[in-house]
Structure 1
Amino acid sequence: MPLYICPTPIGNLEDVTLRVLRILKECDFIFAEDTRRTKILLDKYDIKGKRLYSYNKVNWKKRIPLLRKFLSEGKSVSIVSDAGTPGISDTGAEAIKLCIEEGFKVEVLPGPTAFVPALLLSGLTPHPFLFFGFLPSQRSKRRKVLDFLKELPFTLVFYESPHRVYESLCDILEVLGDRKASLVREISKIHEETIRGRVSEILKKTEEVKGEIVIVVAGKEEVEEGEEGKNVEEKIRSLLEEGLSPRDIVKKLREELKLSKKSLYKLVLDLKGGDKS
């Protein structure tokens, strides 16, 4: 029998699929991130008599032998997280890895996950995008990750906890720049909220923010085509005619135009004819 990866609602219990409910009802055992929260879902849909085992970041290594034993005996096991799809930013991935390495069948059922609705609600380009998960809690490591991501032309999606969101946004602003972004919290719940704007604008509204949070940030910004691009070129040419160096022009226009230093410098050099003086 396979290991079933069963997505559960991220807020509204009505978002669970019929197939997930059937699998939870028919399987022999359920491994749950928090058995108390899983029991709420089971009770709502009248799923009785299930043997639940906790399986989370604290005890997953101790549970792996039990999971292996059940699967070896031909038992069916379902894994559920507190909310969303197991394996996304939790230890469900370790169980999947075990099954693949040892030849057990795995079935991943489609269902809720927070980053997809957050990405669409942001209004930013939905493809390509990069889902990172949780940024490191340590500031130096977090800034190192952001420094690696800053040149990518992909929309960036992060999970974050409410007690750390302000610090993370400060680092995003400092490392990535004041890009377009959104903060989405409490998806599918009563107090669902989406805050859109530049990172600096969102920062002003998040000191008291609560709930489960997804941050979406625009990828590396390039000079836009069309009329706006023409206006940028006109400004650069005007400053070149005044005798400013490419370095001084970038310094003068970067904040105003909200462009990355690298892309703006390249445009200045192109318009200047490649002279790097």
Structure 2
Amino acid sequence: MHLTSTLWVVATPLGNLGDITDRARKVLAEADLIFAEDTRRTGKLLQALDISGKSMVSLHEHNEEKRIKKVLAHFDEGKDAALVSDAGTPLMSDPGYRVVRACREHGVRVVPVPGPSAPVTALSGCGLPPYPFTFLGFLPRKEGQMRKLFEAHGSTGATIVFFERKSRLRETLHLAYESLGNREFSICRELTKDYEEFINGNLEDWAEVSEELRGEITVVIGPPVNEGPASEEDIFNMIDAEMESGDKPKVIARRIAEKVEGWTAKAVYEKVTERKKNS
């Protein structure tokens, strides 16, 4: 066991340096080593924070598995380290999951230092229902895999959040329309930066999205648009998704009833209790 060693999982600014927390700044300044997705980019961040002389080791999606032995060897010496991605919260579609898992299995203390997160930032500003939501990270490149992913998560009735490259944005929105039907969406780009922008619309109008958009893009697709009374199957799907919250049945029932047509909170509550008995 190596509980005297700590891996700090540090969230860093998406673009606005003012979003760095005092705790994150202190951890980065005091850590014996920093594992960084891109050492050059992290080097610029440290320079902006007036932190110098830090040792860094690259840790990205292509070398994470190979780095694990080196990571654990560092902690075996009783030293601490910080893990950062290029921007935002590590592991949120960025490298780090395998290292965090290996550290916990090795007895290294893992401590998250929360802060900026693109999915949460997008949800807080786009105006679409924020919960329940499903975060898909970067979508697979193959159309068939992407379609299966949309169909699997679209049936839950939750808001869907994912990252997308600007070169594939229109193609992806088109596929989302074919897979999910017409739903509201928001293209959230350049979050926290000077040119931050939220572009809201409906999936049926995917062709109207500009191909000239620049910057980092987070996409939010809202839940199904209510078209008449919800079916019993729809209600059960929403119940299954909501029950993961751990809230009381009456709270879940009231929340679902606010989202659908043709169902009172009392009627939904009966379905919630029925589901709990059968599960």
Q: Which runs of 5+ in 1 are unaligned?
A: 230-262, 265-277
Instruction: Give the number of the structure whose alpha-carbon radius of gyration is greater.
Output: 1
- Among 117, 127, 144, the alignment partner of 2:148 is 144
Are residue 16 (structure 1) and residue 32 (structure 2) matched?
no
- Among 80, 85, 94, the alignment partner of 2:84 is 80
Find the aligned partners of 1:121 and 1:47 in 2 and give their Cα distance. Answer: 32
Alignment of structure 1 residues 49-60 onto 2, 5 Å = 49-60=53-64
TM-score, normalised to structure 1, is 0.78
Find the aligned partners of 1:177 and 1:2 in 2 and give their Cα distance. Answer: 47
2:205 corresponds to which residue?
201
Question: Across the two proteins, how many residue pairs are aligned to each other?
Answer: 228
Find the aligned partners of 2:142 and 2:166 in 1 and give their Cα distance. Answer: 15
Find the aligned partners of 1:201 and 1:121 in 2 and give their Cα distance. Answer: 21
State the one-letter code of the partner of 1:3. Answer: L
Are residue 42 (structure 1) and residue 46 (structure 2) matched?
yes
Are residue 3 (structure 1) and residue 32 (structure 2) matched?
no
Find the aligned partners of 1:67 and 1:120 in 2 and give their Cα distance. Answer: 35
Shift of 1:107: 0.3
Q: Which runs of 5+ in 2 are unaligned?
A: 231-259, 262-279
Secondary structure of the 1:63 match is helix
The alignment yields a C-alpha RMSD, in angstroms, of: 1.8
Measured against aligned partners, the alpha-carbon deviations of 1:170-225 in whole angstroms (never above 9, x if no partner) come to 10011111211111101011111110111233541232222111111112333467
Secondary structure of the 1:164 match is helix
Measured against aligned partners, the alpha-carbon deviations of 1:220-240 in whole angstroms (never above 9, x if no partner) come to 333467xxx9xxxxxxxxxxx
Are residue 173 (structure 1) and residue 174 (structure 2) matched?
no
User: Contact between 2:182 and 2:224, CA under 8 Å: does it hold in 1?
Assistant: no
2:167 corresponds to which residue?
163
TM-score, normalised to structure 2, is 0.78
Find the aligned partners of 1:36 and 1:5 in 2 and give their Cα distance. Answer: 19
Identity %, equivalent residues: 41
User: Contact between 1:182 and 1:202, CA under 8 Å: does it hold in 2?
Assistant: no
Runs of 4+ in structure 1 off by over 6 angstroms are: none
User: Contact between 1:152 and 1:220, CA under 8 Å: does it hold in 2?
Assistant: no
- Among 215, 218, 221, the alignment partner of 2:219 is 215
